[in-house]
Structure 1
Amino acid sequence: MKLTHVVLSVAAFAAVATAATLALTQKDKAPSVSYTLLDGSQHRSDDLRGKVVLVNFWATSCTTCMKEMPELVATHRKYQAKGFETLSVAMAYDPPAYVVNYAQSRQLPFQVTMDQKGEIARSYGNVQITPTTFVLNKQGEIVKRYVGAPDFEQLHQLLEKLLAESA
């Protein structure tokens, strides 16, 4: 009877270890979404394949979002010439006038869209907490998810590594 328990315990441990290893090595494909920028132009996330992409969910009412925004701008400017793109997604509950005013007054240099129906947030795993940021590699796979403001030094190290990889 004890031998059966040992065998079952070893089998269970092996299954958990295998699942954990797969979870650490598998990358989820980023969802394919369509979105409209503040200028009215229509885009698809698939058009960003071949670039390293940062997708940032935020709101004008989120103090952490407002605090991190200058760092996001600096990050975008630092890496955009190297094949990096930023997609800033304003949450559905954010008043459109506030988003437009913020983006224009701060002259945000990256793509800004309003997720008016919450479809983009749902497609990224039902994002509800802001800020939430995803980093995608050139193949369109999610390689990192940050809930709250990222450590920008670590983020920059990750971006440099991803930008150096071939598509």
Structure 2
Amino acid sequence: MPILSRIRTAFLAGLLVAASAFAADQPAPLRVEAEMLDGSRYVLDDSRGFITLLSFWSPDSLASRKCLGELQRFHQDYESRGVKVVAISTVNDAAMLRAFTAKRKLSLPVAMLGENNLGAIPEDQLPIVLVLDRDGKVVASRAGLFSYRMLEVLAVPPLMKPVSGTTPQ
């Protein structure tokens, strides 16, 4: 197995192990806080009750830039169906990110990574997508390039089904 594949596998395995190590009754196994480009704060608990796709990216990453269009399309198609998408930049320069998103006409929620318990996020692995169920538990992850269809496969099939005894979100 090539070294980058081993690093990617170890990183994703570490995220999933960290997420599963939390107490089962804790509402959100991960702690992620971010500053939205409009100045508001995003915390993972804001997405409770929704299927959530967190995409960690950097404008310095070619792979991240290539995937933003796919993420934007996914956000537009699934937001009304109870799926929250948040693109969280590892670069903390609000002015630069506002210009970057305006130039590309992105309307999906974009934030800058703040407090979290994810550990170091390797820039060479970006973008990284985490899919969380309605209870805030990580159910899927992906590092590297992704397509719209891949996001559908990761986030939609079992999660979009209504929980028995409830109505869809």
How many equivalent residue pairs? 138
Please list every run of 5 or more consecutive structure 1 residues that lacks an aligned counterpart in the other structure: 1-22
Q: 1:85–1:110: 8 Å Cα contact kept in structure 2?
A: no
Alignment partner, residue 70 of structure 2: 71
Shift, 1:103, TM fit? 1.6
Q: 2-side partners of 1:30 and 1:150: how far apart? A: 24
1:155 partnered with 2:154? no
Q: 2-side partners of 1:113 and 1:140: how far apart? A: 18
Alignment partner, residue 59 of structure 1: 58
Shift, 1:112, TM fit? 1.1
Q: 1:27–1:142: 8 Å Cα contact kept in structure 2?
A: no
SS of the equivalent of 1:150 reads coil
Give the alignment partner of residue 111 of structure 2, picking from 113, 117, 126.
Answer: 113
Q: 1:27–1:141: 8 Å Cα contact kept in structure 2?
A: no
Q: 2:52–2:133: 8 Å Cα contact kept in structure 1?
A: yes
- Superposition pairs of residues 82-93 of structure 1, within 5 angstroms: 82-92=81-91
Q: Deviations over 1:113-135 (max 9, x none)?
A: 112xx633xx2242223111111
Give the share of equivalent positions with the same residue, in percent: 25
Highest CA radius of gyration, 1 or 2? Answer: 1
Shift, 1:47, TM fit? 1.4
- Superposition pairs of residues 117-132 of structure 1, within 5 angstroms: 119-120=115-116, 123-128=117-122, 129-132=125-128
Distance 1:154 1:43, change over 3 A: closer
Distance 1:89 1:80, change over 3 A: same
1:134 partnered with 2:130? yes
Q: Deviations over 1:58-106 (max 9, x none)?
A: 11111111111110001111111000111111114x5443212112222
- Structure 1 or 2: larger helix share? 1
Counterpart AA for 1:163:
M
Query: Following TM superposition, where does structure 1 have runs of at least 4 consecutive aligned residues deviating by more than 6 angstroms?
Result: none
Q: 1-side partners of 2:82 and 2:115: how far apart? A: 26
Give the alignment partner of residue 161 of structure 2, picking from 147, 164, 167.
Answer: 164
Q: 1-side partners of 2:161 and 2:106: how far apart? A: 26
